[in-house]
Structure 1
Amino acid sequence: MVLTTHILDVANGKPGNGIEIDLFIWKGEQRVFLKSVVTNQDGRVDQPLLMTEELEAGQYEFCFYTGAYFRQTQSDQQASPFLETIPVRFYIHNANEHYHIPLIISPWSYQVYRGS
Structure 2
Amino acid sequence: MGLSTHVLDTMHGCPAAGMAVALYATQGEQATLIKRFTLNADGRNPDGPLLDNASLKAGTYRLVFDVKGYFDARGVDLPEPRFLDRVALDFGVARVDQHYHVPLLVSPWAYSTYRGS
TM-score if structure 2 supplies the norm length?
Answer: 0.91
Q: 2:105 aligns to what?
A: 104
Q: 2:50 aligns to what?
A: 49
Amino acid paired to 1:107: P
Does the 8 A contact of 2:24 with 2:63 survive in 1? yes
Does the 8 A contact of 1:71 with 1:78 survive in 2? no
> What secondary structure sits across from 1:68 in the alignment?
helix
- Identity between Structure 1 and Structure 2 (%): 39
Task: Mark the runs of 5 or more structure 1 residues left unpaired by the alignment.
Answer: none
Aligned residue pair count: 116
CA positional deviation for 1:82: 2.0
User: Post-superposition, which runs of at least 4 consecutive aligned residues in structure 1 deviate over 4 A?
Assistant: 77-80
Task: Mark the runs of 5 or more structure 2 residues left unpaired by the alignment.
Answer: none
CA positional deviation for 1:68: 1.2
Q: 1:33 aligns to what?
A: 33
Superposition pairs of residues 1-116 of structure 1, within 5 angstroms: 1-46=1-46, 47-76=48-77, 78=79, 80-116=81-117
What is the alpha-carbon root mean square deviation over aligned residues?
Answer: 1.5
Does the 8 A contact of 2:7 with 2:105 survive in 1? yes
> What secondary structure sits across from 1:69 in the alignment?
helix
> What secondary structure sits across from 1:21 in the alignment?
strand
Amino acid paired to 2:12: N
- Counterparts of 2:81 and 2:65, CA distance in 1: 16
Amino acid paired to 2:7: I
- Counterparts of 2:13 and 2:68, CA distance in 1: 18
- Counterparts of 1:51 and 1:75, CA distance in 2: 35
Q: Which moved more, 1:9-18 or 1:26-35?
A: 26-35
Does the 8 A contact of 1:57 with 1:94 survive in 2? yes
Does the 8 A contact of 1:67 with 1:80 survive in 2? no
Which digits, 9 at most, give the CA deviation of each residue in 1:2-46, with x for residues without a partner?
100010011111110101111111134421111111100111112
